[in-house]
Amino acid sequence: ENVILQKAHKVDDQLKVCPEKPDGLEGNRTCDCEDVSKETLQNMYPELKDGRLQPADCKSRERLAIVIPFRDRYHHLHVLINMLIPLLKKQKADVTFFVIEQDDDVPFNRALLQNVGFLESQKVGAFNCYIFHDTDLVPMNYRIMYRCADNPRHFPVALKKYGRRTPKVMYKNSFGGIVALTKAQFLDVNGNSNLYFGWGGEDDDLLIRVETKAYKVKRENSSVYHYQMLKHDRNDKKQGNVDRKLLLVTAEDRMDMEGLSTTKYKVKQILHQPLYIWISVEVNVTE
């Protein structure tokens, strides 16, 4: 067994670092938006194990974790993964998918779940790049680079809503949907605030944190960075977070004492599945 391990190591050492811009990133693609089952996906991509995909012919430049905050959107999740894997393969990514499910009956807390994904993933491996990804946004161009950079990045610059013909460019200070931060950047901003239960505000809070630490989010080219939004029911605004405007006022003052460093949750289940590491948590915990 040791000999085999040594051999495997040798091969690994001999691998070249993957190219910065791999060949074959042809640009626009069509959406394969039909429902697909988990079993079908597992058969289509047998190389995925424990949620991890790695190139066989080179060593990736970073170890990427894609963290997906989730509650009851199975159809979206599998359509998304079906659209992400071919792109990530072309880009020679070493990527692990983490699905972080909120399994309790309090309003959804997207930002807190992202913090959980960061904290739990660090127990799994030495990830140095994080992409926090909504389940309902499908990348429509192969040149959307699933990478981190010197500054935090925002991906869905243009968005095509279900039923629309053309993508619409998002408002200038948008930081929702999908963002990429290195491990160091996420630690630097103390992650997300945990206080945003229900819809809205949490993405603006993260942008305030990022800008307070003097990062500059680069606006990417909207003709490349465009996404298709999958169909979902309109958010019931009553489920919205009524305090979000008040919370945003204090976002800057709060950031160092409230965030990743104070995230509280209870793990209910961790499942290492072929396509993803599935982590179910309760977030309504009081000490």
- Of these residues, 101, 136, 205, 220, which one is catalytic? 136
In whole angstroms, give the CA distance from residue 252 to residue 247: 10
Q: Does 203 bind ligand UD2 (CB under 6 A)?
A: yes
109, 102 Cβ separation under 8 angstroms: yes
228, 31 Cβ separation under 8 angstroms: yes
Angle at 98 between CA 94 and CA 103, to 5 degrees: 180
Q: Does 136 bind Mn ion (CB under 5 A)?
A: yes
* 257 carries an active-site annotation: no
Residue 276 Cβ, how far from ligand UD2 at the closest point, in Å? 13
- Of these residues, 44, 103, 188, 199, which one is catalytic? 199
130, 195 Cβ separation under 8 angstroms: no
Residues 39-78 that bind ligand UD2 (CB under 6 A): 69-73
Strand pairing class (158-160; 168-169)? antiparallel
* 234 carries an active-site annotation: yes
- Of these residues, 232, 252, 253, 256, which one is catalytic? 232
* 203 carries an active-site annotation: yes
Looking at residue 151, the DSSP 8-state letter turns out to be S
Find where tokens 């071919």 sit. Answer: 86
Q: Does 156 bind ligand UD2 (CB under 6 A)?
A: yes
* 94 carries an active-site annotation: no
* 32 carries an active-site annotation: no
In the complex with ligand UD2, which residue's Cβ is closer, 21 or 268?
268
Residue 274: C-alpha distances to residues 37, 65, 69, 117 (Å): 13, 15, 18, 18
The only residue of 139, 176, 191, 259 in contact with ligand UD2, by rule CB under 6 A: 176
Pick from Mn ion, ligand UD2, none: which does 156 bind, CB < 5 to 8 A by kind? ligand UD2
Q: What CA dihedral angle connects 62, 125, 98 and 171, to 10 degrees? A: -40
- Of these residues, 104, 120, 202, 258, which one is catalytic? 202
In whole angstroms, give the CA distance from residue 151 to residue 23: 25
Joined tokens for residue 68 = 């997906």
Residue 235 Cβ, how far from ligand UD2 at the closest point, in Å? 5
* 136 carries an active-site annotation: yes
For the chain, the residue count is 287
In the complex with Mn ion, which residue's Cβ is closer, 104 or 136?
136
Would you tell me which residues interact with ligand UD2 (CB under 6 A)? 69-73, 108, 110, 134-136, 156, 159, 174, 176-177, 199-200, 202-203, 232, 235
Q: Which residues are catalytic?
A: 134, 136, 199, 202-203, 229, 232, 234
